[in-house]
Amino acid sequence: MDVSVVKCDSYENEAVKVALSEAIDKIGGLDWVESGMKIAIKANLVSFMAPEKAATTHPVLLCELVKMLVDKGAEIVIGDSPGGIYNSVYVNKVYKATGMAETEKYGAKLNRNFNQNEAQNPEGTVLKKFTYTAYLDDADAIINFCKLKTHGMMGMSAAAKNIFGVIPGTLKPEYHFRFPRHDDFARMMVDLDEYFKVKMCICDAVVGMEGNGPTMGTPRKIGAILASESPHKMDLVCAKIIGLEKDDVPTLVAAAERGLIPETVDGLNVYGNIDHFVIKDFKNIPVHTSIEFKKDSTKFFGKMASLVTGSALRSRPKLKAAECVGCGVCRDICPAKAIKIEKNKATIDRKLCIRCFCCQEFCPKGAMKVKRTFIARLLNK
């Protein structure tokens, strides 16, 4: 079975236990877990956000998974590198806000190894070397436990995007600057997924996030838990559930380039009826990625057409001034140094902006929005 999709209507412990067990069993179960095995769970702990905000992996789901793994004799560490300083003070605050301490009651340990290592990746398509969180080196296996959300730059945040959390927080803007084009950033993400080769992916889609995701959107009940051995196959199903196609999500286009997924979910072996979970009015963020992946973009005129059309259609961050408090978080995190604070309001230099949406993702007030261009809105009509 490529992907399992199981109904789970709430974060009540028993409901989660039953649904999570079924989802995992349908993709082969946990027979691969051996006593004494060290397993790292890479959760989505993007920022200081309470579970009910629907931006992070819910602690009840993590607790139930920890119980299953500990029962098999495994040693569990849960970690992530949120956007910010990758040290004990900062990350411990994130652990507290996201409810991660609860997992330690059932035998898990929260990662407190904040060392960094360098990786050589000759097989990567765009990412040949990178810096990553060293705690993963101690793991015999990695489980990618993501959250289903919209995303300003990538359209959707699920399993493939979650792996970006292996890059230490303060280095993330550098990678955005290295790969400012959405297509190359997506290829970089797939390079990371292929390098780490996680053992299993699980998606918290009990309550997802729509609108101004991945941090300041609106919680939306989806009522599902998904599992797969492949982040890209699971993401293809996730996209279908929230009303997106492969070409709407850059990481899926990049995965398809490498033959890692079929063109549609019809080419997958899925347990569960996907149609029962599809939300037709889910509020997504169009990113118009297909232009950047055009096959003729290596030719001069193809490049020019792609450049002009892409500029006309690609969304961009835009400030809602009434909500801005001039805190400077967006200025400090911007990899292109395109933001200044003037008269207690953020201003964006469009000539410098690389449309990475870091400002939109980490604005603590949600004042940065994803703005579609006039032409894109006109064509949509």
pLDDT digits (tens, 9 = 90+) for 107-121: 999 999 999 999 999
Closest by CA to 143, choosing from 80, 190, 206, 49, is 80
Q: Scanning the structure block, which residue is given the tokens 């002009």?
A: 308
Most confident of 150-154, 199-203, 292-296: 199-203
Average pLDDT, integer, range 247-263? 97
> Which CATH class name applies to 295-380?
alpha beta
Residues ≥6 apart with Cβ < 8 Å to 110: 77, 78, 79, 95, 100, 101, 103, 104
Across the range 245-273, mean pLDDT stands at 97
Percent residues over pLDDT 70 in the chain: 90
Whole-model pTM?
A: 0.88
User: How much is the pLDDT for 316?
Assistant: 84
pLDDT at residue number 244: 97
320 three-class SS: coil
The per-residue pLDDT for 377 is 46
Reply yes or no on whether the pLDDT at 161 is more than 50: yes
Q: Write down the residue that tokens 């359209």 correspond to.
A: 155
- pLDDT (0 to 100) of residue 198: 98
Helix (H) or strand (E) holding 149: strand 141-151
Residue 267: CB atoms within 10 Å: 11
pLDDT of residue 35: 98
What is the per-residue pLDDT for 315? Answer: 76
Q: Name the pLDDT band for 309 (thresholds 50, 70, 90).
A: very low
Q: In this predicted model, what pLDDT tens digit does every residue of 286-305 receive, in sequence order? A: 775 544 565 444 455 454 44
Q: Where are the alpha helices (DSSP H) in the chain?
A: 13-25, 59-71, 88-98, 101-104, 159-162, 172-178, 182-196, 231-241, 250-257, 300-313, 329-333, 358-362, 374-380
Q: Which helix (H) or strand (E) holds 151?
A: strand 141-151
Instruction: State mean pLDDT over 74-96.
Output: 95
Domain with CATH 3.30.70.20 in the chain: 295-380
Residues of the chain with CATH 3.40.50.11440: 3-276
Q: Which CATH number fits domain 3-276: 2.40.50.140, 3.40.50.11440, 2.60.120.10, 3.10.105.10?
A: 3.40.50.11440
